[in-house]
Chains A and B, each alone.
Chain A
Amino acid sequence: MIRVTPHLGLPYRERLLLGKFLFENTMTYKNRNLMMYAIIATALGLLVVEPSIAFAGSYSPNWSDPGSCSGSSSECANAVSSGDNTAVAKAVGAFTLREADAHNNRDSSSNNPGSNPEVSVVGSVSKDYKIDYYAKGYESYATGATGGLEIYVQAWRNHDNNGWEKYGTSGVVYYNSCSGTCTHDGTLTASRTSVGAGNHDLRVSGYHHVWALNTIFGGTTTIDYWNASDRKVETEELCIDTTCN
């Protein structure tokens, strides 16, 4: 569900002030026709332009409701029903990986994929590679007890074409840092070296994970895993890039 701002983006008080300002100034100018045009244009601008601004921002989160996920996994089934309801956790949000970058340690200008920000490089290397990546998540969750929001990015390597191997996981965990409905717009930046010499493909994937304790020292309620396309995925799924095609 995309968030819509139904009141033209202006809080009520500011809209009143704007109207008052325009009215008073109209009355003091000789060319009232011109001011009428300006008022009409302003109104049109607010009506026509505002929605596009609301959707165009970097923080249009493309909300999804984990309670209505289409998968049949246990995580999906448990998302809203498991536990003893002493704690309630619900997560919505989006997660993207951007500007995954891999380059040779010796020369950061070479082998840089640059224009392909979401996957990295294929190359023959004789030295260790470094892979830099960051994850940016905008997520909101509500928890009634101890809970955590976690964002992870994972580095994969395909060594000498022997298959993909997940060799690194970096993450940030927010816990008990707020109560009620909590939102984090977090950027996690991780760098990694020593994938080993040889022919490598390097890629980055990511997932996020929200949980809450059912009781203070109870079990965990897994809520959801999402990929960058807002499709629910299992962590075990071989999601070797951010699209999981």
Chain B
Amino acid sequence: MKTKSYITMVALIVGIVGSMAFTMNFVSAELEPTKEEYRTDYNSVMSETKLTLSPGDSKVLTAELLALQEQTLNLRTGIALEGKIGYSILTDNSGLPDGVSVTMDKSRIDLTNNGYTGKDLRSSVEMTLNISEDAKPGTYELVYFVYEEPEKGVLLITGENIQLEIIPLS
């Protein structure tokens, strides 16, 4: 009798474990999508991250790019409202608030392995923010960003936030 109970118990355990193995195989294959992993191990440092300007003002900012020296990178630059970065890139729309425009001294940064290792200052971008007379007062979250395209259909972005407050002329 004891032997029978023992066999029953073993059969139960084998059955449950076996069914788990079957189930895990099929369920995981069904649910698990393709995984993608991307690294952004470079970043910029803005000369200023909070600006208060009035209509008619302009301001020059510098963004230094820190990146690994052993890396070859082909980067592009841009600026947009936060939440509009991808839209800005893909539509070639500035993505900036009405009355705000920016000019940059370079739109591409191409870096090659310089023989050293580690992260260091590798480039800088100078940009000028212009606030037109008809700019609407308010606070805007802007992002200066650099991006690369690791593969077709994917953009990898790293950006620095700039809080821009436009106040009316007193």
Task: Say yes or no: is A197 at the interface (Cβ < 8 Å to chain B).
Answer: no
Please determine whether B26 and A14 come into contact, CB atoms closer than 8 angstroms. yes
Q: Smallest Cβ distance from B69 to chain A, in angstroms?
A: 14
Q: Smallest Cβ distance from A235 to chain B, in angstroms?
A: 5
Binary per-residue interface labels of chain A (194-210) against chain B in the complex, 1 for a CB within 8 Å, 0 otherwise = 10000000000000010
Given B31, B43, B83, which contacts A57 in the complex, CB threshold below 8 Å? B31
- Counting chain B residues whose Cβ lies within 8 A of the other chain, the interface size class is 35 or more
Please determine whether B158 and A170 come into contact, CB atoms closer than 8 angstroms. yes
Given A10, A165, A209, A236, which contacts B26 in the complex, CB threshold below 8 Å? A10
A185–B38 alpha-carbon span in the complex (Å): 11
A190–B37 alpha-carbon span in the complex (Å): 11
Q: Smallest Cβ distance from A168 to chain B, in angstroms?
A: 6
Q: Which of A178, A220, A222 has the most CB of B within 10 A?
A: A220
Given B32, B91, B154, which contacts A174 in the complex, CB threshold below 8 Å? B154
Task: Say yes or no: is A191 at the interface (Cβ < 8 Å to chain B).
Answer: yes
Task: Say yes or no: is A108 at the interface (Cβ < 8 Å to chain B).
Answer: no
Binds B, one of A36-44, A80-88, A119-127: A36-44
Task: Say yes or no: is B72 at the interface (Cβ < 8 Å to chain A).
Answer: no
Closest partner residue, chain A, to B17 (CB atom): A45
Please determine whether B43 and A192 come into contact, CB atoms closer than 8 angstroms. yes
Please determine whether A37 and B12 come into contact, CB atoms closer than 8 angstroms. yes
Please determine whether A176 and B153 come into contact, CB atoms closer than 8 angstroms. yes
Please determine whether B15 and A38 come into contact, CB atoms closer than 8 angstroms. yes
Binds B, one of A48-56, A64-72, A95-103: A48-56
Given A3, A10, A148, A150, which contacts B23 in the complex, CB threshold below 8 Å? A10
Interface positions, chain B 3-27, Cβ under 8 Å from A, are 7-8, 11-20, 22-24, 26-27
Q: Smallest Cβ distance from B90 to chain A, in angstroms?
A: 6
- A193 neighbours in B (Cβ, 8 Å): 43, 66, 119
Task: Say yes or no: is A171 at the interface (Cβ < 8 Å to chain B).
Answer: yes
A193–B84 alpha-carbon span in the complex (Å): 24
Please determine whether A49 and B90 come into contact, CB atoms closer than 8 angstroms. no
- B15 neighbours in A (Cβ, 8 Å): 37-45
Task: Say yes or no: is A146 at the interface (Cβ < 8 Å to chain B).
Answer: yes
Interface positions, chain B 119-162, Cβ under 8 Å from A, are 119, 141, 143, 145, 152-161
- A166 neighbours in B (Cβ, 8 Å): 141, 161, 163
A40–B14 alpha-carbon span in the complex (Å): 11
Please determine whether A173 and B155 come into contact, CB atoms closer than 8 angstroms. yes
A177–B86 alpha-carbon span in the complex (Å): 14
Please determine whether B22 and A18 come into contact, CB atoms closer than 8 angstroms. yes
Please determine whether B41 and A185 come into contact, CB atoms closer than 8 angstroms. no
Q: Which of A3, A5, A168, A235 has the most CB of B within 10 A?
A: A168
- A11 neighbours in B (Cβ, 8 Å): 26
Please determine whether A138 and B20 come into contact, CB atoms closer than 8 angstroms. no
Asked if A45 meets B33 with Cβ closer than 8 Å, knowing A50-B27, A168-B161, A172-B155, the reply is no
Interface positions, chain A 222-242, Cβ under 8 Å from B, are 222, 225, 235-236
- B166 neighbours in A (Cβ, 8 Å): none
Please determine whether B37 and A187 come into contact, CB atoms closer than 8 angstroms. yes
- A150 neighbours in B (Cβ, 8 Å): 85-86
* Top 3 closest pairs, chain A to chain B, by CB: A41-B15, A177-B153, A45-B19
16 more contacts with CB within 8 A, not counting A54-B27, A175-B155, are A41-B16, A45-B16, A49-B23, A138-B33, A168-B159, A169-B145, A171-B85, A171-B159, A173-B86, A184-B33, A184-B36, A185-B34, A185-B36, A194-B43, A209-B83, A209-B86
